[in-house]
Structure 1
Amino acid sequence: MTQIQEAAAQGRAWKFASADEDDRPSLPEVNSTIKVPHTGTWVRRLIAFLGPGYMISVGYMDPGNWATDIAGGSQFGYTLLAVIMLSNLMAILLQALSARLGIVTGRDLAQACRDHYPRPVNLALWFACELAIIACDLAEVIGTAIALQLLFGIPLIGGALITALDAFLLLLLMNKGFRYLEAFVIALLVVIATCFAVQIVAAAPPVAGILHGFIPSPEIVTNPAMLYIAMGIIGATVMPHNLYLHSSIVQTRAYKRNDEGRRDAIKWATLDSTIALMLALFVNAAILIVAAAAFHTSGHADVAEIGQAYELLSPLLGLGIASTLFAVALLASGLNSTVTATLAGQIVMEGFLRLRIPHWARRLLTRGLAIIPVVFVTAIYGEKGTANLLVLSQVVLSMQLPFAVIPLVQFVTNREKMGKFVVSRSIAILSWLVAAIILVLNFKLLYDTIFG
């Protein structure tokens, strides 16, 4: 009996159009390929499940976060730390729901949408998700190109074109096995965290100011400029395509496909993603704290570009290597984000459209769509235009969030689909509240953009 047939036998009413196509698991080349112990110490079992959480955490600290965090820290000091914390808590909840959906149903979020919604709705959801992936890729292209310029003096346009070559990085790692891919991602995350830990020590920010920044302020909503950057932070932190990605890659673990195995897998997968996203919270908060300590308090409130931050960090912090560490972390962030965006693109295209194309072709197509506007804007407006494009890409990501969040919450709160694994009433209320907050903030941003 296949996983799909077993799920149907347990009462989860997914609709499958054709047996041959819909019996195909998500990411079939790596599905259930990583063995997990069913007995033994909790440390050994946790380690077996560690990996997917760190891969999705990459999207929460990609180059797009840098632009919004730097702008927020330099303009408003520590005030927007509350937004970073709130968005990270939202991310922890939503990623836990995403993992639950994948483990319980054996379907990723894209497949679940295709099974549940009519074709016109699915096409609209697919289009929205593709826009989000392109916006994310846009941030990665800009971030990687800026890092190459800062470290090696390569012009922005040249750096953007070089990023097309990273299409082959994922192929190399996937051919070695999914564990190699996870190890690569975790290694680069360690580099990023270490770079910012050193900068935090050099910046020596006031603890009282940081703690006060984690208390939400009404000004965040009433100040249009602050709200715009806050929405960018939320868009850069809670990534729409990560919800599709996580629901798929948790299925790489060969847990028992029965109630006991699924319950165990949900526990470890949730712990994995929660730990990883706390690391993402540290990195995002560190970027904003360093920007606030170095720029806002020294009168450089207009610093909103990564290049400006790079030039000013070492002189203002009094640490010669600070700027280099900043650029190295940026390059590591861009490389890491490339891997996860590629996988998410594959999952979305196969899940919604049942369309399978070679990984390198998918990667080059997505990366090409991201490179074109970067080259165009850089050629016409220079680095200033590229910086504005980077912040705008994060706002676009935020606008796509409802199209991923609402279906996810709808599925995991539906007993008919989730059976005994449906979320509790309190979690369901909290999940819908998070979806409502995202919708309200999006409408407020649209109103201010059009009429303000």
Structure 2
Amino acid sequence: MASKSLEEVHESVNPASKTTWWRKILAFFGPAYLISVGYMDPGNWATDIAGGSQFGYALIWVLLMSNIMALLLQSLSARLGIVTQRDLAQASRETYSKPVNYVLYFLAEIAIAACDLAEVLGMAIGLNLLFGISLIDGVIITVLDTFLLLFLINKGIRKMEAFIITLVAIIGVSFVCEMIFAQPELDKIATGLIPSLPGEAALYIAIGIIGATVMPHNLYLHSSLVQTRKYDRTKSGIKQAIKYNFIDSTIALNLAFFVNAAILILAAATFYKNGMFDVAEIQDAHQFLEPLLGTKWAPILFAVALIAAGQSSTITGTLAGQIIMEGYLNLRIRPWVRRILTRLIAIVPAVIVITIFGEGITGKLLILSQVILSLQLGFAIIPLIHFVSDKHKMKGFHIGLPTQIAAWIIALVIVSLNARLVYEEITGWLESSSNPTVLWLTVVPLAIGFALLLLYIIFRPFFSRTKTDIYNHSPHSLKLKVGAAAIREKKNIAVSVDFSAADEGALNHAFSLGGEEANYTLIHVVETVGAMMYGDSIEDHETSVDEKLLAEYKDILLLKGYRAQTQLAFGEPAKMIPKIVNEGGFDLLVMGTHGHSGFKDLIFGTTVDKVRHGIKVPLYIIKN
């Protein structure tokens, strides 16, 4: 069976069921708001504060340009998910070779870790400013949001979206109040919309702003989240979904632009205006707000908004990590394990650096994390442009020539800025290093290697067609061999299948128990993140492939003379299988096992034990 993107919530929201046009539009709204929090996370705060304090209003145009870039790229990402029912990671996996995909996965994980580092530090700083908790303790406390994410996913995607939108509203209201306190100069804001770079230092900050705004993991996430809506797969239905998701993205990303602009303007109107050009730390900004603005509410609202930004963005970052892992590797592990791994990758470096260099280093860490994100952008943007330009893959919904030109210009701008930054940084290291030979043998070849990889993913799709029609995203490989049945007592038997080698043993043992007179129901549970969040309203590539494979199983059994039917469910198998069995009036459930135990159970989960305690009929377990 093919893996659906975010299978837990796949197609769990059905806009077609809404009776009025505005309810139908509202049903489409939501994914872009989950995306927008990534555009206002604590990493953005650091770059915005640094840009505003050092250069005043001069870099507002960078925010506006980044927002326009983000809107185009996110709309392309949404289009890919809607039309192909694949997320960006899945589409990459079916286009490039395994070695290239492993490298792209590694780079995507680095981006996730850099993003999560910013969220960890932001949350810790917010807790420190509001409650006086030390940064080290605050960083450790952020592990607990793992359980918040799991709780929200179990409540469904609409409740998760409502939670995120509430946090976004808190951030927005906080900065409306901050703008009232700061009273910025409107004429200088208008001047800041004119492109200029006041010095070499502004380039580093500008690239950090771009990296903080146009985030690579959001491209993976958006292409998956749009599949949580179930819509007609007709030409008009797809057009409507693309249109409404573009409206959703426009509203959400403009709200994110307002927040980012408000942070930069606040820094310009308070710190730059008073000659405080070196304010780059969020803690310093919080400390100076009250004396400069003359109200105790300014720093309180600042800290509250920071915590809201960190908490909301860490949830979406985790979902993106799961999508990337499942899409590139076809590896599905338990959500809480994935969350803790992602969080530890960010926490360990943060604790080490803060312990060694002190709490004053956090601002530089935040800006560095955003520059790292910017460096990863080309490896996500270029494949995306290729995919949505592909007539075959997009089934007639490919983007037109003007949009392609605009997208390639954006990619060229981002890659060129990053190339210049990398060149200048490496040149500086070589000039200042006492032992440049080490750099020539390590950093320089690595940079050349990534440059060659970038050229490869640019030109590879021009010379080779994708394998869209034959590729199966299922993590399983199956050649089913059905044995002969003995004559047994008539039964109503349920057989759990997952399209692995375990199915063959489970089915043949079921036939030995029920014979040809029994009725067999083949149960399969789609268990991607999307299916768990959106249930049976999810409509993506994995669901469609799973349905076809289940139908093929049924046909094989019917040809062999067995009475067979199928039942497809969505969510966690440990919950859905008992529900189906208990409600279906079955006499027996047959399940195969994968043979792992102990530590592997922690990583991949164990379904059999939970099912055994949840059903009211006998369970026949086939060990492989």
Normalised by the size of structure 2, how large is the TM-score? Answer: 0.68
User: AA paired with 1:174?
Assistant: I
CA contact (8 A) 2:130 2:300 kept: yes
Residue 321 (structure 2) aligned to one of 341, 345, 348: 345
User: AA paired with 1:442?
Assistant: N
Inter-partner Cα distance in structure 2 for 1:384 and 1:24: 44
CA contact (8 A) 1:138 1:393 kept: yes
CA contact (8 A) 1:125 1:403 kept: yes
C-alpha distance after superposition, 1:209-244 (max 9, x if no partner): 001101111x25xx2210000000000000000000
> Which secondary structure does the structure 2 equivalent of 1:116 belong to?
coil
* Number of the residue aligned with 1:4: none
* Number of the residue aligned with 1:173: 152
Inter-partner Cα distance in structure 2 for 1:261 and 1:123: 35
C-alpha distance after superposition, 1:305-358 (max 9, x if no partner): 000000001110112210000000000000001110010000000000011111
CA contact (8 A) 2:53 2:279 kept: yes
1:82 aligns with 2:61: yes
Residue 228 (structure 1) aligned to one of 187, 204, 207: 204
Inter-partner Cα distance in structure 2 for 1:138 and 1:24: 29
Q: How does 1:202-241 map to 2 (within 5 A)?
A: 202-217=181-196, 219=197, 223-241=199-217
Q: How does 1:104-123 map to 2 (within 5 A)?
A: 104-123=83-102
Gaps of 5+ in 2: 429-624
* Number of the residue aligned with 1:275: 251
C-alpha distance after superposition, 1:278-316 (max 9, x if no partner): 000000000000000000000111100000000001110
1:197 aligns with 2:176: yes
Inter-partner Cα distance in structure 2 for 1:157 and 1:168: 20
C-alpha deviation, 1:45, in angstroms: 2.0
* Number of the residue aligned with 1:325: 301
* Number of the residue aligned with 1:135: 114
More strand, by proportion: 2
Which segment drifts farther, 256-265 or 138-147? 256-265
Q: How does 1:139-150 map to 2 (within 5 A)?
A: 139-150=118-129
C-alpha deviation, 1:42, in angstroms: 3.7
Residue 365 (structure 1) aligned to one of 307, 319, 341: 341
Inter-partner Cα distance in structure 2 for 1:186 and 1:435: 30
Normalised by the size of structure 1, how large is the TM-score? Answer: 0.93
User: AA paired with 1:258?
Assistant: T
Inter-partner Cα distance in structure 2 for 1:74 and 1:272: 32
1:95 aligns with 2:74: yes
1:250 aligns with 2:226: yes
C-alpha deviation, 1:107, in angstroms: 0.3
C-alpha deviation, 1:449, in angstroms: 1.3
Q: Is the radius of gyration larger for structure 1 or structure 2?
A: 2
* Number of the residue aligned with 2:376: 400
C-alpha distance after superposition, 1:142-184 (max 9, x if no partner): 0000001001111100000000111111100010111010000
C-alpha deviation, 1:266, in angstroms: 0.5
CA contact (8 A) 1:224 1:448 kept: no
* Number of the residue aligned with 1:417: 393
C-alpha deviation, 1:205, in angstroms: 0.5
1:284 aligns with 2:260: yes
* Number of the residue aligned with 2:285: 309
* Number of the residue aligned with 2:527: none
* Number of the residue aligned with 1:29: 8
Inter-partner Cα distance in structure 1 for 2:294 and 2:211: 33
C-alpha deviation, 1:38, in angstroms: 6.5
C-alpha deviation, 1:258, in angstroms: 2.4
* Number of the residue aligned with 1:336: 312
Ranked by relative contact order (alpha carbons within 8 Å, sequence separation 6 or more), the top structure is 1
Inter-partner Cα distance in structure 1 for 2:18 and 2:345: 47
C-alpha deviation, 1:39, in angstroms: 7.1
* Number of the residue aligned with 1:158: 137
Gaps of 5+ in 1: 1-19
